[in-house]
């Protein structure tokens, strides 16, 4: 077909220059797995260390069973893995334009994890009014906190990748 265009005198260089490669719809699963593990662990360990420092950890964790805690951790990790894959598919870790999608997908993670918590509270407590109030009040707070955490992790990821690239080329 390009030969036909050239024979007819049509300049195909302009048409090829206007075509940009399609956006990446898949993210590196190993990178997404690594970031999900880093984000989830950091997000949980930092507050736990703070609670331990003020001697409030024991009373907080007293009523949480191991299976419940593990289940909540796995739910947060799985949700973080899913949202990190979506974030990485839409951004590249080479400029600051990755921060705004980090806010968006961080908010999605926050609201998604709130839904998990609401489900656990709903099954455990069995009070529909409490569950509805928790969901109603918690959704904007979860979106805000998730967005802020997502922005923070996006900035941190950009700095870590930039440092790694500098060390890799040194």
98-117, pLDDT tens digit by residue?
Answer: 999 999 999 999 999 999 99
153: in domain: yes
2: in domain: no
Q: What percent of the chain has pLDDT over 70?
A: 84
Residue range 22-70, pLDDT digits in tens? 445 577 889 899 999 999 999 988 888 888 888 888 777 777 788 888 9
Number of domains in the chain: 1
8: in domain: no
Distance CA(88)–CA(33), nearest Å, equals 11
Q: Rounded to whole angstroms, what are the CA distances from 170 to 7, 8, 54?
A: 50, 52, 43
Mean pLDDT score across all residues of the chain: 84
- Does 16 score more than 50 pLDDT? no
102: in domain: yes
10: in domain: no
């Amino acid at each position: 077909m390009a030969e036909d265009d050239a024979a007819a005198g049509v300049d195909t260089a302009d048409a090829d220059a206007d075509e940009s490669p399609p956006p990446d719809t898949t993210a590196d699963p190993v990178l997404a797995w690594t970031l999900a593990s880093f984000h989830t662990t950091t997000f949980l360990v930092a507050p736990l260390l703070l609670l331990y420092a003020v001697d409030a950890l024991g009373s907080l964790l007293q009523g949480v069973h191991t299976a419940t805690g593990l289940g909540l951790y796995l739910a947060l990790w799985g949700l973080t893995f899913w949202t990190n894959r979506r974030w990485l598919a839409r951004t590249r870790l080479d400029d600051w334009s990755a921060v705004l999608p980090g806010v968006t997908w961080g908010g999605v993670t926050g609201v998604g994890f709130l839904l998990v918590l609401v489900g656990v509270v709903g099954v455990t407590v069995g009070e529909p009014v409490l569950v509805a109030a928790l969901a109603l009040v918690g959704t904007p707070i979860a979106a805000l906190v998730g967005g802020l955490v997502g922005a923070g992790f996006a900035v941190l990821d950009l700095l870590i990748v930039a440092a790694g690239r500098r060390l890799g080329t040194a």
